[in-house]
Amino acid sequence: MSSAIRMFAKKLAVQIVFAGVLLLAWEAIVKVGGVPPYLVPPPTSVFAAFVDMATSGILWQSVGLSLYRMAIGYGVSLVLGTVLGILLARSWFVKTTAGSVVLALQSLPSICWLPFALLWVGIDERAILAVVVLGATFAIAVATENAIRNVPPIYLKVGQVLGAKGFVFARDILFFAALPEWLGGMKLGWSFAWRSLMAAELIRKDSLGMGRLLEIGRSFNDVPMMLAAILVIIVVGVTVDWGVFGTIETKVRRLYGLQK
């Protein structure tokens, strides 16, 4: 066994033991310490609530619906944000006019738009998607702009000498030179969209979704279900954030020699 694998196995073992001890301690404190289970349920009832949700199908429907909304909303904001970012980086006019508006909107949590949505259209699917799109678009736009502006000028010169002009330069050199930072922006946009979606789903009464599971639990005073919902939200979030974006980013950064 190589030392790298041994290190990894050791780390994993320590983490599993730590999690086990934590769960046991939690169970013990609740059972022995007399904490009312309707406020802090023991892990066993959280697990039971999870199994309930899974067997009734409500869990899978919710995860599916939330991911579907993310796919649509985030997909739209990726396109919009990237186009806007390219314009901000390349067009003096767009930068001068829309630049400060984008910066201002980027600092505003998109959930602040929900009350408007309530007023204008009510909380329906359009409102949820709008909040997701608003949450991610400006962050992606700003990151895309910076990614392009930070491309070292030497690449422009090298491109000119080698004969890469206009679209060919953008496709072969600018895109790849900006890629690592742009990926960082995509990841940031995803986490903004994700936060916005969970908040919006909490409010929408007539549909499922992971945020909604939390709210259903609350309306039945079902704390185990609420905690189970929280855990599901964490697991899905981490899977996409680390598993998808993190992996791609690490791959690219390694390829470029930006990290070991």
Partner 1 sequence: MTLEVDNVSRTYLGIRRNGTQQVAALGPLSLTIPSREFFAVLGPSGCGKSTLLNVIAGFEKPDTGRVTLDGKPIMSPGPDRAVVFQEPGLMPWLTVRENVEYGLKLRGIKAHERRERAMHFLKMVHLSKYAEARPHELSGGMRQRVAIARALALEPRVLLMDEPFSALDAQTRDLLHDELQRIWIETHVTVVFVTHNINEAVYLADRILLMTAPPGRIKRLVRVPFARPRQKTSSDLSIFATMLQKEIKEEVDKVASREFDPDWTPATRSEVLVDPAAEI
Interaction site with partner 1 (CB under 8 A): 152, 154-155, 157-158, 160-164, 168, 172-173, 176-177, 179, 255-258
Closer to partner 1 by Cβ: residue 80 or 252: 252
Q: Are the C-beta atoms of residues 58 and 232 closer than 8 Å to each other?
A: no
* Least distance between partner 1 and beta carbon 113 (Å): 38
How far, in Å, CA of 167 to CA of 177, rounded? 14
* Least distance between partner 1 and beta carbon 161 (Å): 5
* Least distance between partner 1 and beta carbon 147 (Å): 14
* Least distance between partner 1 and beta carbon 78 (Å): 21
Closer to partner 1 by Cβ: residue 32 or 161: 161
Closer to partner 1 by Cβ: residue 34 or 166: 166
Closer to partner 1 by Cβ: residue 133 or 174: 174
Going by C-alpha positions, the residue among 61, 68, 143, 163 that lies closest to residue 102 is: 143
* Least distance between partner 1 and beta carbon 3 (Å): 22
Instruction: Decide: helix, strand or coil at residue 222.
Output: coil
Query: Which amino acid is located at 173 in the chain?
Result: I
What are the strands, taking DSSP E only, across 34-178?
A: none
Other Cβ atoms less than 10 A from the Cβ of 30: the count is 19
* Least distance between partner 1 and beta carbon 244 (Å): 20
What are residue 108's phi and psi, to 5 degrees? -90, 120
Going by C-alpha positions, the residue among 123, 124, 88 that lies closest to residue 105 is: 88
Instruction: Decide: helix, strand or coil at residue 151.
Output: coil
Instruction: Decide: helix, strand or coil at residue 123.
Output: coil
Closer to partner 1 by Cβ: residue 5 or 161: 161
Going by C-alpha positions, the residue among 133, 124, 126, 121 that lies closest to residue 204 is: 124
Q: What angle do CA 151, 178, 71 make, to 5 degrees?
A: 155
Counted residue by residue, the chain has a size of: 260
Closer to partner 1 by Cβ: residue 71 or 168: 168
Closer to partner 1 by Cβ: residue 36 or 257: 257
* Least distance between partner 1 and beta carbon 156 (Å): 9
* Least distance between partner 1 and beta carbon 184 (Å): 16
How far, in Å, CA of 224 to CA of 219, rounded? 12
Closer to partner 1 by Cβ: residue 11 or 165: 165
Q: Are the C-beta atoms of residues 7 and 17 closer than 8 Å to each other?
A: no
